[in-house]
Each structure stands twice: as C-alpha cells, then as structure tokens.
C-alpha cells in the first residue's frame, strides 16, 4: 500500500495543476482536510456558474477517489499492515543437521521466513541447506560456537551488521556426551554440556533481547528445546542417572573442576547426567525469562519437547548397540518415535502458529500429533531455583 500511495501522488498533482486557483493538495484530503468548505464558499459566489461548479466537483471527486484507494490510513492500522508485508526473521542454533535443519526447512518452505542458520561449521551448514533444498534467498549461514562466550558475542555483533530485525530466536543446539568418562570444557572452562547447552544459549538470549523488543513483527518469540529426560515426572526422566541440580554448588563454583565439581549439583562427573541437568536449566531459564520480561515486552517465551527423534545425530556419541536398538525400541515398544521431519514441523509450529503464542509454556504433542501444554517436573518448575540459576548464570557469563 505504501508503494501504491507513492505512485499515486504524481497523478494527484497533475490534476492540481489544472485547478491552480481553487484546489490545493491540502484541500485534496491528502492531509486529512476536507475540500467541502472551499466548495461551499464558491457555490455561494454569484460569479461562478453552476456548470463550472459541477466540473470542479467532478475533479475533486476524482482526487478523493485516488486518495481513498491509494493512500495508507494514518494511525494504528498502518503498523499492523507493515507487519504482514515482510518475512519473519528467525535465528536457529544448530541448524546444520537434525532438528535444527528440519525446522529451517519447514519454515523456509512456507516462503514466509528468512532463517539465520547459526552453526559451528559454516561449510557444513551451507551444504546441508542446499541438500535440503532450501532456497538461497530464504537463509543466511552465520558462524556461532556456543562453547565460546566470545563467539556468542561476535555472532551478535555480526548479526547486527546484517541490519535485519529479529523476530524469533530458537535455541536448539546441544552437546550430548553420554559415554564420556572425563569432562570436557568450553573455552571459558565450563563443563562442556552445561556450558554449551545452557550458558551459551543464556548469553545469546540475553544479548539479543533488545533486538527482540524492537521487532514490529506480529508475534515475537524465544524458544528453547527441552527434553523429556530432564523431567523426572516421566518414565524416561526416571531412567538413571536422573537429572538433579541439587543446591547448585557446582554451578556456583564455575563447573571447572578446580573450585569444585564440574557437575551442577557438585557430584562426580557423569556425561549423561550433565546433559539432562543442562535441559533442566534450559526449561527453568525460559520460565524465568517469562516472569521477568513477558509482560513488559510482549515476547512469548516457551520450551518444548518435540518427541523422541531416535535417529538424530544427537546420539552419535552413544555406544553402537544403543544406536542400533534405540530406534526400533521407540517405534514399536514405547511408540514415542518421531522422524526429524515431523519434529521439525512441530518446532516450526511453536515458531509461527498463531495458536501457540502463550508464554511460559512447555509444549508437547500427543499420539495424534496435536500440541498441548505439558507439565514440568517439580524441579524443572521451581521458581526459586530458576531465580538462583539465573543469578549464578549472569555472573558466569559476565553480565553481573
């Protein structure tokens, strides 16, 4: 409409030139001023013939028709119209494979989204996007290593240089080292699973929050991928080792094994538990974001579990026998199996579906693939623990 309005102005001006002495741009209604009063004055003048008045009424009617059909309405309707004219911009971490790539594909195929694929391996992401058939105009690959806080900060700077608004952030990337006997560490010395999955995403979300606030998009959202394994109110969540953040003494000590344990609860290292603990932190963090910022900003903060993607590369570090048996077990025994494609469509729903705008929700899907608000475990919904995790995390990433 804005473009049409711009193109209509010359035609309106040309008509103005034909009636210089009596009709001005101001009178035409372009500035919200009616032409009826000047006409009334002219009609009262005995020197103006009725025929001439009729001609001028016709000219004015033409101008009115032009301005009515081509000029955007000033007021609140204009920003709403703007929101529908451009594609949404969404950042997806870990979009070079698995759930992240499937989500990028699902969103790109709608033609309504531009995806920022935030990935550690630039070339891998480019090849994956092309192999998936994502049109080049629908994505941009950017380097991001969540295991380095400096990389997170550099990514945010590089994103700002693009000059794009940010409408949705999807925190999807994850490290899972279930068979590791010794801990690995991030660039800053944090245990790798929690340092990447939680602290990296925490800093990224905080640094991009102002961008989200400034978005004029219809629905702004920050989404993080949780896990059923972090919820001890489920069967899967009770498979040892169970998630447990304890009193957070390990997190307070920096998770580096020097000032204390590399585990959040201060216990001995366990790779599988470290991943589950990081997912509890993810879900707690989204709820804390909701409590602190939803009412002020209107941003929707949510977590989700899209189902068991038993064939995903997330399990690449597991033992070969597990990788062989786990998919058929999920397909035929638990019936919890979902493909990467279906899981990607579910996450894409949480990104864009108008019915999933409720904030502070943990989304799941039933056997009929219908979304519903699921319940988090007692620990994963502990508001006081969420506040403590937030405060300690701020210190660890340098925000406090």
Distance set, CA 271 to CA 11, 181, 243 (Å) = 71, 7, 11
Contact 326, 297 (CB under 8 A): no
Contact 244, 265 (CB under 8 A): yes
pLDDT value at residue 83: 46
- Report how far residue 270's alpha carbon sits from residue 123's, in angstroms, rounded to the nearest whole number: 32
Residue 114, beta-bridge partner list:
89
pLDDT of 288 higher than 70: yes
Express as a percent the part of the chain with pLDDT over 70: 71
- Report how far residue 82's alpha carbon sits from residue 80's, in angstroms, rounded to the nearest whole number: 5
Average pLDDT score, the chain:
79
The dihedral built from the CA positions of residue 345, 83, 220 and 134, taken in this order, carries a sign that is: positive
Backbone angle region of 117, left / alpha / beta, with phi > 0 → left and psi within -120 to 50 → alpha = beta
Distance set, CA 348 to CA 120, 283, 286, 385 (Å) = 22, 18, 18, 30
Q: What is the pTM of this model?
A: 0.75
Selected residue with higher pLDDT from 174 and 31: 174
Phi, psi angles (nearest 5°) of residue 183:
-75, 150
Average pLDDT over residues 2-13: 37
Contact 161, 359 (CB under 8 A): no
Contact 231, 376 (CB under 8 A): yes
CATH fold, domain 86-396, is Rossmann fold (3.40.50)
Contact 341, 102 (CB under 8 A): yes
SS in 3 state form for 68-120?
HHHCCCCCCHHHHHHHCCCCEEEEEECCCCHHHHHHHHHHHCCCCEEEEEEEC
- Report how far residue 217's alpha carbon sits from residue 199's, in angstroms, rounded to the nearest whole number: 27
pLDDT value at residue 400: 85
DSSP state of 369: S
Selected residue with higher pLDDT from 231 and 123: 123
User: What residue ranges do the domains of the chain occupy?
Assistant: 2-78, 86-396
Q: Residue 5: helix, strand or coil by DSSP?
A: helix
Task: Tell me the pLDDT tens digit for each residue of 29-66.
Answer: 333 333 344 434 443 433 334 444 344 443 434 333 33
């Amino acid at each position: 409409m804005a473009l049409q309005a711009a193109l209509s102005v010359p035609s309106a001006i040309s008509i103005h030139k034909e009636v210089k002495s009596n009709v001005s741009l101001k009178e035409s209604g372009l500035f919200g001023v009616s032409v009826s009063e000047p006409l009334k004055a002219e009609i009262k003048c005995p020197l103006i013939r009725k025929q001439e008045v009729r001609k001028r009424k016709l000219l004015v009617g033409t101008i009115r028709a032009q301005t009515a059909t081509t000029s955007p309405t000033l007021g609140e309707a204009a920003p709403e119209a703007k929101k529908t004219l451009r594609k949404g911009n969404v950042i997806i971490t870990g979009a070079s494979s698995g759930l992240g790539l499937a989500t990028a594909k699902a969103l790109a195929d709608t033609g309504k989204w531009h995806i920022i694929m935030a990935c550690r391996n630039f070339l891998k992401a480019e090849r994956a996007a092309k192999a998936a058939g994502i049109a080049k105009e629908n994505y941009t690959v950017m380097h991001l290593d969540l295991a380095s806080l400096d990389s997170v900060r550099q990514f945010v700077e590089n994103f700002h240089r693009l000059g794009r608004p940010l409408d949705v952030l999807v925190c999807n990337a994850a490290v899972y080292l279930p068979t590791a006997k010794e801990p690995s560490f991030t660039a800053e010395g944090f245990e790798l699973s929690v340092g990447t999955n939680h602290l990296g995403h925490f800093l990224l979300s905080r640094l991009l929050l102002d961008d989200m606030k400034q978005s004029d998009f219809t629905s702004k959202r920050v989404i993080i991928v949780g896990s059923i394994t972090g919820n001890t109110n489920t069967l899967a969540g009770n498979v040892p080792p169970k998630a447990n953040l304890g009193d957070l003494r390990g997190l307070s000590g920096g998770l580096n094994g020097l000032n204390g344990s590399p585990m959040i609860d201060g216990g001995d290292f366990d790779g599988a538990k470290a991943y589950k603990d990081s997912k509890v932190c993810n879900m707690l963090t989204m709820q804390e974001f909701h409590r602190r910022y939803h009412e002020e900003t209107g941003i929707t903060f949510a977590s989700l579990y899209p189902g068991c993607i038993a064939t995903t590369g997330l399990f690449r570090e597991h033992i070969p026998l597990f990788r062989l048996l786990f998919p058929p077990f999920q397909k035929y025994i638990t019936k919890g199996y979902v493909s990467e494609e279906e899981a990607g469509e579910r996450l894409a729903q949480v990104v864009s579906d108008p019915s999933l705008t409720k904030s502070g929700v943990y989304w799941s899907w039933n056997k009929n693939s219908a979304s519903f608000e699921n319940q988090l475990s007692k620990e994963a919904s502990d508001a006081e623990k969420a506040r403590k995790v937030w405060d300690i995390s701020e210190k660890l990433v340098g925000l406090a």
